[in-house]
Structure 1
Amino acid sequence: MTALLVRGAQILTMARGQTGAFAGDMLVRDGRIETIGQGIEPPDGAEIIEGRGKLLMPGLVNAHTHSSETFFRGRYEKMPLEIWLLYAYPFFGNRPVPPRLLYLRTLLLAMESLKSGVTMLSDDFFETPGHDLDRLGLVFDAYDHAGIRANISSAVMNVPALDALPYAREIVPRDLAARLDAFTPISVQAYLEFCERVFSRLHGRANGRLRFMLAPSAPQRCTPELMTALHALSRRHGVPYHTHVLETKTQAVTGPDLYGRSLIHYLADLGLLGPNMVIAHSVWVSDADIALMGEAGVAVAHNAVSNLKLGAGIAPVRRLLDAGVAVGLGTDGLSSNDTARIFDVMRVAALVQSATGPDPKDWLSAREILQAATLGGARTALLDRVTGSLEAGKAADFILLDMGSTSFLPFNDVEKHLVYAENGGSVETVVVDGKIVMRDRKLLTVDEDAVLAEIAETVPPLLAEHARVEAQNRVLEPFMQEIHRRATAQDIGMQRYAGDMPPWRHG
């Protein structure tokens, strides 16, 4: 048996009903928290971490990210989602990265996450053109070697691109439309068989630290047959059903245009709303949508920074919480955010809600933001009984921060310091599943210098090739701009929170 004692720290448990920090100790045995209290005697042979002057708290949870974007950090700006997708996820000329770079790309995300206090992430890994078990295995390998906890998808879509967008068939020229329509999607049966192989070979690796999740890209990008089949599979295996819904105003137009109702109502009519559903973004939801979401017990991954960078809007987090929707925080991919730091998302998520209305009662407190970054994020991963708070019996996923750093001086309120002042630079020690993966800001699981040097040497040719791919896809930009222009011209602003959507044309 292995034991670890954190002694004399300020402890912020984030357990429900507990607020503020208190001085105490925490004993970990065989990867699980055994007890939290004061004056705990260390068992024979226990490793001791001196916590004096440190804050002990749960590791942060990144509820939504995309490792496939990691090498595109700092590459794009001033692009709405529908245009940005042309370059970050190009239609033409895109090829999978070499296996070694696939591994390094994922490892870099894991390293940055751990160094900024993230102990668990949900990676909506998406790679065109197909689904390859060995390549998905490299993603699992990278997270395994880094020592982080992760839910990992092999995201899927099977609807032609133009059929998932409003106005597209009347805007995009026939020759380009024919090229886009040449895409051959995987069949529902073939993808289900692939997923079962993943569950057999990869799911539950590393003592259960690495899990597979089902991630149909979005309801408008997947057939009802695929959406329904994956929902049933997610329930059978007890894993999240992770999808993108109503991220942009274009998507707010898409539901009524394609289905005669909002995308949330469409999902409800398919019988897909439920506690295992995780909705990334949820920006353009109406009050009627939110009521359905709350009744069904869905969870939302709120990506405040990405939503702002892509001009998508501000999610109605107060209304979601008041309706009983569980909310976690996500960075989204490093191409639409440029950092894996959840501390950055916490600050932005707290501040931006203050711009949604004049009544301070509708703004979010530091406590609510911290809850979303820890236990709320764990709920989105269906792991709130495993991680997200410091409680006896839970996995020992925690971080220690230096309270002598400038982020905590002079000291006032621990929760407000964490949300408004901290940026991850005070994180000194990171423990996942009872194993110390970072000590004194140095990762113990990988050779950081060697990894960064290899990336610096091997990635530039890949980016040069990607620039040529971007040039091939630039031909589509004027048409995506027109789709974006028409959608944003639709007057749905007042109806956004009012309930029913206004009448739309039906294709």
Structure 2
Amino acid sequence: MTGTLFRNVRLFDLDTPGGMSPRRDLRVANGHIAEIASALEPGAGEIVIDGNGKLLMPGLINGHFHSAVNHMKGRLPSLPLEVFMLYECPELDVLRPTPREAYLRTMLGCIEMLRSGTTSVQDDCFFVPAPTPEIIDAVAQAYEDSGMRVRLALDQPEVSELDKLPFLRDLLPEDVRRALAKPAGAPATELLSLYDHLITRWHGAADGRIKAAVSCSAPQRVSPDYFVQLDDLSLRHDLPFYAHMLETRLQRVFGDVCLGGRSLVRYTHDLGLLSERMNVIHAIWVDDTDLDLLADAGAMVAHNPNSNLRLGSGVMRWRDMHDKGIPVCLGVDEAIADDAINMWSVMKTAASIHTLSHWDYELWPSAQEVLRAATQAGGRAMREPGLGTLCRGAPADLILLDLNALPFVPLNNLPRQLVHCELGQSVRMTMVAGRIVARDGQVATVDEAALLSEAAAFFAGKQKAMDLADARMAQLLPYYRDMYELAGQHNLSLERRLPENLR
């Protein structure tokens, strides 16, 4: 691989008051940061990029994502998660994708992320109605072709719908109850075989850019036996383990009603499965005991503030997590629950929403904390040493930002302007593993215009099937609304939404 020398750049540095270094040179070799100095001479055959005072910083890391609905942005109104999921991912054969469809929808997300400076993603990908080797390959191939760095998991429940949710069993008429009592998607044995395919075929592919992860979706969505087997996979291969926990009030109620008063965090702990490999997704409706268990286990939390607002889930305990030493990364969640795949927007929301949590403004998130969550903490979540930093030896996943662009003129405080002013429009170059993958707002690794044109035509032709799926799922809506109302009436000792007198 040809090396690259960045000359005359300002280096992102949150340990300095201004948030960046004086002008420096930085050398990239063999996909990693090799050398940083005040002046470096070009090597033979090395590409030289004169930064002319631009900011060189680590690429942003999307710490939680579901690529399977990249084509559905704007399709749904804001709805509570449990109602939202009726329409987001129904296990209907009419929605079964072709490999080309899976490739196109994955590539839509890659293009949007790379254009705006997101270089790595944790894709907790779900597959409707169930995964197959061909569809897994199509998703992974899109990431390989785009040049992104990814951790890819199979987010698949394997218990019935009635086992995942409180109250629903008693609300349904007998014929509907029988239909929803069937186990979901694919059985555990088949899912484990598919994980074997993912790991054997793709883990470490593209010079290590493509790696596997494991996912239980959520503890209540899988059997304890499969949960344990996934943890064993995670341990044997040192893979991140994704688990949605306590995203909504209803999930807290599930613990009260279905787990003998234990929260999903406590339930996972009791199974012996909380660990420093685990990415706990959302963690909004947690109590102090849950936070102590997460801290003791060394688990990560993936915070998705835009999604949490869009679905009315609540506000995470940002300061309490930081005070207990729980690492927090940031994620988009998915295009249909954020309607953009833009980590700058996520950072802005993360910096803003938590001002409502404390009267003491000194406890509000600082711009530096938010930037670390979107870079260094994301690298830790992905279990990639050095990722999200500019340390020597770190992966050369870098972005170059124009400090003469409007978000930085005048330049008053770089960290705050990165978080509150920038939306990706100032990113002039994106590099992953030492390779330039986007420049001046265009992805360089694929024929972006042709892919977008093909995707637009393909998914326009998919609308009838999606409308049919919506109509079928709408027949269940009254029962899910009743379930949601019962959960809302259930007494809890904690609250993560606005109090009644502010609604």
TM-score by length of 1: 0.95
The alpha carbon displacement at 1:189 in A equals 3.1
The alpha carbon displacement at 1:308 in A equals 0.3
Alignment of 1:125-136 (within 5 A): 125-136=125-136
Alignment of 1:382-401 (within 5 A): 382-383=383-384, 385-401=385-401
**Paired position in structure 1 for 2:339:** 338
**Paired position in structure 2 for 1:376:** 377
**Paired position in structure 2 for 1:263:** 264
Distance across 2 between alignment mates of 1:88 and 1:185: 15
For the pair 1:40 / 2:40, whether they are aligned, the reply is yes
**Paired position in structure 1 for 2:105:** 105
CA offsets per residue over residues 185-238 of structure 1, 9 Å max, x none?
Answer: 533333223212221111111001001110111001111101111001101001
Alignment of 1:247-396 (within 5 A): 247-260=247-260, 261-383=262-384, 385-396=385-396
Q: Is the 8 A contact 1:91 1:180 kept in 2?
A: no
Q: Is the 8 A contact 1:157 1:216 kept in 2?
A: yes
**Paired position in structure 1 for 2:19:** 20
**Paired position in structure 2 for 1:504:** none
Name the % identity: 36
For the pair 1:492 / 2:495, whether they are aligned, the reply is no
The alpha carbon displacement at 1:155 in A equals 1.5
Distance across 2 between alignment mates of 1:493 and 1:314: 16
Q: Secondary structure at the residue paired with 1:292?
A: helix
Q: Is the 8 A contact 1:93 1:469 kept in 2?
A: no
Distance across 1 between alignment mates of 2:129 and 2:183: 9
The alpha carbon displacement at 1:50 in A equals 1.0
CA, structure 1 residues 184+413, in 2 after alignment: closer, same or farther (shift >3 Å)?
A: closer
**Paired position in structure 1 for 2:81:** 81
Distance across 2 between alignment mates of 1:150 and 1:406: 31
CA offsets per residue over residues 399-424 of structure 1, 9 Å max, x none?
Answer: 00111111001101110010000000
CA offsets per residue over residues 78-101 of structure 1, 9 Å max, x none?
Answer: 311111111111244543122211
Q: Is the 8 A contact 1:126 1:156 kept in 2?
A: yes
1:21 maps to a residue whose letter is M
Distance across 2 between alignment mates of 1:361 and 1:18: 18
CA offsets per residue over residues 149-183 of structure 1, 9 Å max, x none?
Answer: 00011112111111111111111222111122234
Q: Secondary structure at the residue paired with 2:338?
A: coil
Distance across 1 between alignment mates of 2:175 and 2:191: 29
Distance across 2 between alignment mates of 1:49 and 1:333: 34
Q: Is the 8 A contact 2:96 2:128 kept in 1?
A: yes
TM-score by length of 2: 0.96
CA offsets per residue over residues 440-463 of structure 1, 9 Å max, x none?
Answer: 222110111111111121111112
Q: Is the 8 A contact 1:216 1:230 kept in 2?
A: yes
Distance across 1 between alignment mates of 2:227 and 2:240: 13
Distance across 2 between alignment mates of 1:401 and 1:249: 40
Q: Secondary structure at the residue paired with 1:127?
A: coil
1:473 maps to a residue whose letter is M
Alignment of 1:447-466 (within 5 A): 447-466=447-466
The alpha carbon displacement at 1:306 in A equals 0.3
2:235 maps to a residue whose letter is R
Q: Is the 8 A contact 1:213 1:239 kept in 2?
A: yes
Distance across 2 between alignment mates of 1:132 and 1:459: 21
- The CA RMSD measured in Å over matched residues stands at 1.6
Q: Secondary structure at the residue paired with 2:84?
A: helix
Distance across 2 between alignment mates of 1:18 and 1:208: 35
CA, structure 1 residues 298+76, in 2 after alignment: closer, same or farther (shift >3 Å)?
A: same
Unaligned runs of 5+ in 2: 498-503
CA, structure 1 residues 381+17, in 2 after alignment: closer, same or farther (shift >3 Å)?
A: farther
Distance across 1 between alignment mates of 2:358 and 2:184: 46
Unaligned runs of 5+ in 1: 498-507
Q: Secondary structure at the residue paired with 2:194?
A: helix
**Paired position in structure 2 for 1:443:** 443
Distance across 2 between alignment mates of 1:337 and 1:368: 22
Q: Secondary structure at the residue paired with 1:312?
A: coil
Q: Is the 8 A contact 2:302 2:330 kept in 1?
A: yes
- Residue range with higher mean Cα deviation, 44-53 or 67-76: 44-53
Q: Secondary structure at the residue paired with 2:336?
A: coil
Q: Is the 8 A contact 1:93 1:472 kept in 2?
A: no
Q: Secondary structure at the residue paired with 2:329?
A: strand
Q: Is the 8 A contact 2:99 2:134 kept in 1?
A: no
Q: Is the 8 A contact 1:35 1:392 kept in 2?
A: yes
- Residue range with higher mean Cα deviation, 432-441 or 183-192: 183-192
Distance across 2 between alignment mates of 1:54 and 1:244: 38
Distance across 2 between alignment mates of 1:367 and 1:174: 55
Distance across 1 between alignment mates of 2:265 and 2:56: 39
The alpha carbon displacement at 1:13 in A equals 4.3
1:330 maps to a residue whose letter is G
1:72 maps to a residue whose letter is M
Distance across 2 between alignment mates of 1:495 and 1:373: 27
CA offsets per residue over residues 271-297 of structure 1, 9 Å max, x none?
Answer: 011110001111100011001101110
Q: Secondary structure at the residue paired with 1:56?
A: strand
